[in-house]
Amino acid sequence: MAIDWNEGVPLDTIETEPAFCVFYAGAKAGKTTLASEFPSPLYVRTGKGERAPAGVTMKSFGISESYQDVIDQADWFLNMKHDRKTYILDSADGLEQHIFAEVCRKNKVASIEDIPYGKGFGQAAEIWHEFVAKMLELKAAGYYVVILSHVKAKTVPGVTTDSYPRYMPNLRDDAVGIIVDAADLIGFLHQRVSIRKEDVGFKKTNTRGEGGGDILIAVQERPGFISGNRYDIEKPTLPFKRGEGFKVLDHYFQRNALAPVADNDNDPELEAEAA
């Protein structure tokens, strides 16, 4: 895309394109259900284990058996006439395996680790950049992009503290950085948990987590997990209730797209729903 000089007058950087979202969570936490609430989705599956839960129906071309299958469906979005508005990839960790297979195919090896000096993983990172560029092309064309991933915990070094565990998408670190840097919103779905300590005698206590099953979407970065957003969402977490997830998020998507006006008041009804 060429620079728009606009006769020498810089333009305001107002984001009006649909959101590029990454959601990750443990198994059966609701990430696919949340994604299905985005407008008119196309469900791009990377394996048999990725499928919509009961009661959720989405359009799909079936299981993608290669990296090229995933890209072909993005190109279908861009080049064909259709009524779809959201590209959902389920899942990023499944795509990573397709990317590794693509690297092996190009190098004619059985395993990516057979490529000397770790160069295979460098080639995989290049393909991840290619994939993200395609997703940004979808976004620029007016489509929502939703990438789903499972979760992993990794011990990371503290800057001024001891090492500690951190939750993140279940990908190699370089792939996590590539997709997270490009995304507009990274949401970590998790249960609301409270910690209960029980005295078991002999100066010992047992600690256990308790919760009612409420699901939260973390949208602000914290030491314990990766998340964040470009929408100036004031709350660190947003509630996820089936059927209302996209509505809560879209309040912030639409607010961000508005031209800045000093006396622009937020919709109190939507603010209450997002609380």
Residue 198 has pLDDT above 90, yes or no: no
Residue 112: which domain range? 16-274
Report if residue 142 sits inside a domain: yes
* pLDDT score, position 263: 46
Report if residue 1 sits inside a domain: no
Residue 255 has pLDDT above 70, yes or no: yes
Report if residue 34 sits inside a domain: yes
* pLDDT score, position 63: 96
Residue 144 has pLDDT above 50, yes or no: yes
Residue 167, classed as helix, strand or coil, is strand
* pLDDT score, position 272: 57
Report if residue 214 sits inside a domain: yes
Report if residue 250 sits inside a domain: yes
Phi and psi of 13, rounded to 5°? -90, 70
Beta strands at 41-45 and 86-90: parallel, antiparallel or unpaired: parallel
* pLDDT score, position 273: 55
Res. 262 pLDDT band, cuts 50 70 90: very low
Instruction: Confirm if 106 and 124 have CB atoms less than 8 A apart.
Output: no
Instruction: Confirm if 168 and 44 have CB atoms less than 8 A apart.
Output: no
What is the mean pLDDT of the segment spanning 94-104? 98
Q: How far apart are CA 125 and CA 175, in angstroms?
A: 6
Report if residue 11 sits inside a domain: no
* pLDDT score, position 159: 84
Residue 264 has pLDDT above 50, yes or no: no
Residue 118 has pLDDT above 70, yes or no: yes
Res. 199 pLDDT band, cuts 50 70 90: low
Report if residue 96 sits inside a domain: yes
Kindly write down the DSSP assignment for every residue of 25-54, as one continuous string. ESTTSSHHHHHHTSSSEEEEESSTT--PPT
Q: Give me the number of domains the chain comprises.
A: 1
Residue 252 has pLDDT above 60, yes or no: yes
Residue 101 has pLDDT above 60, yes or no: yes
Task: Kindly state the percentage of the chain with pLDDT values over 70.
Answer: 85
Peptide bond into 111 cis (omega under 30): no
CATH classification at residue 205 = 3.40.50.300
What is the mean pLDDT of the segment spanning 13-39? 93
Residue 140 has pLDDT above 80, yes or no: yes
Name the least confident of 28-42, 144-158, 192-206: 192-206
